[in-house]
């Protein structure tokens, strides 16, 4: 079982501000973590930061101590009630890049105390932060006395993932060009990532194609639909044989990935994102791509990204056609928008992509698949109904913009800072690309940042297991 730790960029900055006040002395804080308990990964998710006040500590250049558990009784009580994992974090202002003997002795005393106080089968950990913000961490759980975290992720405008190095690991040969284009080590980072794609069709297909060829380690595909003859002109992996046999889209995509032989592994859920199985699969991932155009589905993904601290790329396209008169059906513009959402900041709600009334209305139509399907088509091609729209070029463009936005956040290469780009919109009618900055924080999504697994999942009765 792999154990990882994930924080948001805002939480990381809160930690860094406390741990490095500018006086060159060590400081200490705790991260209270919920969890995503998956079959292959156990993810610790930062729910809250608890700084130990500087005046309550004995702070030196190479050590820090405090009267435990006197100064963390409230934290321990909360952790016991909510069954939280605790990770102690202290600073190394001198830049010493590993745990010292003093750290070993401190952890040997503290971590057993945490295990005895919090009566739950959960891992607890310890980490050090270096002056550049890098985190080095380890945990104890069950029979593991002290084990290095398999990965630590910091989710913000840019994506910072660090992974436990394994002896003998090498990049596949086809990855060398990516390292040259996007910075040394990009392919190695991609190989470690587990990415979920919800919606395996028009935009989801090209996203899958690109992520597999870029060398992403594992893809999780989620869709409930089957290949049809009308899909063949816009889904890269679809074949006439698949359409004739009515093969599920996720199965067809998984078979295509396997045929490529590029080391990317794949798993899939035959179902919508509004199922416990889909949310469980998403919870084990590092990144989420949303390729659906329903308010209900997008709301669920935005909520899941908040609960499980996932960077969320939402892709939407619209063909705007004349709705009346002699030119009815003539395309006026072709639009696409890629939203990048960071847990705890703005959401698709605050960006006015839909309202909660839209979410509720679509939820009421879940039992009417024909109406739901037409609802998607009406949004997709405004003002016209076409059974086989020729949109593979548009879908591929939108998918490429999203994947390149992802790469830029993994290894920044743009002139604009990632913090200045929250969404990217293009208009083929006007031949323009525009970006928007972050908008106001979403109170709904912020209230559930780092909540992880809870009953029912995401706090929604429809996701009861």
pLDDT tens, position by position, 308-345: 999 999 999 988 877 777 767 678 889 999 999 999 99
Check if 2-155 and 177-453 are the same fold. Answer: no
pLDDT tens-digit readout, 57-92 = 999 999 999 876 667 888 999 999 999 999 999 999
Least confident of 181-185, 373-377, 386-390: 373-377
Structural domain boundaries in the chain: 2-155, 177-453
Residue spans of alpha helices (H) in 215-364 = 240-245, 249-260, 276-283, 295-307, 356-364
Element (H, E) at 73: helix 73-82
366 or 238: which leads in pLDDT: 238
Tally of CB atoms within 10 A around 370: 8
Average pLDDT in the chain: 89
Residues 261-284: tens digit of each pLDDT = 989 999 999 999 999 999 999 999
* Pairwise CA distance, residues 400 & 421, whole Å: 16
Calpha distance 435→425 (Å, rounded): 6
Q: Is the dihedral of CA 91, 93, 99, 103 positive or negative?
A: negative
Residue 214 has pLDDT above 70, yes or no: yes
Fold of domain 177-453: Rossmann fold (3.40.50)
pLDDT of residue 231: 87
Q: What is the CATH number of domain 2-155?
A: 3.40.140.10
Residues 282-295 have pLDDT tens digits of 999 999 999 998 99
Report whether 110 contacts 68 (CB < 8 A): yes
């Amino acid at each position: 079982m792999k154990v990882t730790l994930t924080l948001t960029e805002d939480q990381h900055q809160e930690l860094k501000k406390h741990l490095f006040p500018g006086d060159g002395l060590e400081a200490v804080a705790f991260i209270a973590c919920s969890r995503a308990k998956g079959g292959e990964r156990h993810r610790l998710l930062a729910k809250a930061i608890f700084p130990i006040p500087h005046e309550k500590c004995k702070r030196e250049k190479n050590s820090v101590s405090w009267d435990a558990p006197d100064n963390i009784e409230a934290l321990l009580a909360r952790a016991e009630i909510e069954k939280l994992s605790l990770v102690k974090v202290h600073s190394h202002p001198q830049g010493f890049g590993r745990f010292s003997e003093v750290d070993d002795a401190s952890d040997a005393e503290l971590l057993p105390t945490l295990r005895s106080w919090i009566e739950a089968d959960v891992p607890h950990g310890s980490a050090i932060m270096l002056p550049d913000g890098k985190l080095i961490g380890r945990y104890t759980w069950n029979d593991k006395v002290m084990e290095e975290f398999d990965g630590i992720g910091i989710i913000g405008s840019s994506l910072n993932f660090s992974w436990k190095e394994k002896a003998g690991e090498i990049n596949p040969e086809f990855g060398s060009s990516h390292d040259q284009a996007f910075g040394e080590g990009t392919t190695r980072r991609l190989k470690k990532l587990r990415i979920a794609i919800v919606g395996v069709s028009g935009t989801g297909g090209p996203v899958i194609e690109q992520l597999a060829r870029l060398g992403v380690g594992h893809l999780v595909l989620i869709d409930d639909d089957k290949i049809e003859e009308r899909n063949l002109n816009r889904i890269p992996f679809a074949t006439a044989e698949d359409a004739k046999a009515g093969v599920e889209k996720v199965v067809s995509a998984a078979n295509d990935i396997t045929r490529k032989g590029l080391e990317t592994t794949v798993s899939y859920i035959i179902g919508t994102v509004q199922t416990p199985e889909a949310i469980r699969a998403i919870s084990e991932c590092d990144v989420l791509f949303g390729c659906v155009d329903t308010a209900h589905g997008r709301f669920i993904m935005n909520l899941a990204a908040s609960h499980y601290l996932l960077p969320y790329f939402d892709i939407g396209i619209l063909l705007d056609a004349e709705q009346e008169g002699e030119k009815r059906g003539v395309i006026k513009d072709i639009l696409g928008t890629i939203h990048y959402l960071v847990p705890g900041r703005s959401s698709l709600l605050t960006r006015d992509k839909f309202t909660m009334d839209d979410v509720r209305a679509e939820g009421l139509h879940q039992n009417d698949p024909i109406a739901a399907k037409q609802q998607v088509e009406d949004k997709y091609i405004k003002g016209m109904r076409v059974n086989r729209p020729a949109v593979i070029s548009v879908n591929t463009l939108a998918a490429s913009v999203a994947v390149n936005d992802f790469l830029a956040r993994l290894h920044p290469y743009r002139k604009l800072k990632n913090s200045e780009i929250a969404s990217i919109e293009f208009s083929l009618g006007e031949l323009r690309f525009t970006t928007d900055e972050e908008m106001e924080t979403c109170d709904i999504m912020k209230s559930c940042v780092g909540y992880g697994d809870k009953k029912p999942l995401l706090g929604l009765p429809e996701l009861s297991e």
